[in-house]
Amino acid sequence: MRPIFDDELEMIYGGESISAAVINAFVNIIKVLQNAGHDFGAAIRRIGENHICPLE
C-alpha cells in the first residue's frame, strides 16, 4: 500500500450525505400533513353526515 501525500489529500472530497436530522424533519413534515388530511377528512365527513357536536 502506498502512502498518500499532503498534496493528494487536498484533492480528496468526502461524500455528501443526508443527516439523520434532515430525514427526521422530512418524516415529521409528512406526519403533520397526513394528520391534517385525516382531521380535515373527518370534519368533512361529520359535516356531510350532520353529526356535528354543538358548542354550548
Burial of 12 (0-12, 13-18, 19+ CB in 10 A): exposed
Written as nine digits, the cell of 30 is 409528512
Whether 52 contacts 46, CB under 8 Å: yes
pLDDT tens-place values along the chain, 56 residues long: 888 888 888 888 776 778 889 999 999 999 999 999 999 998 888 888 887 776 65
Q: What is the pTM of this model?
A: 0.57
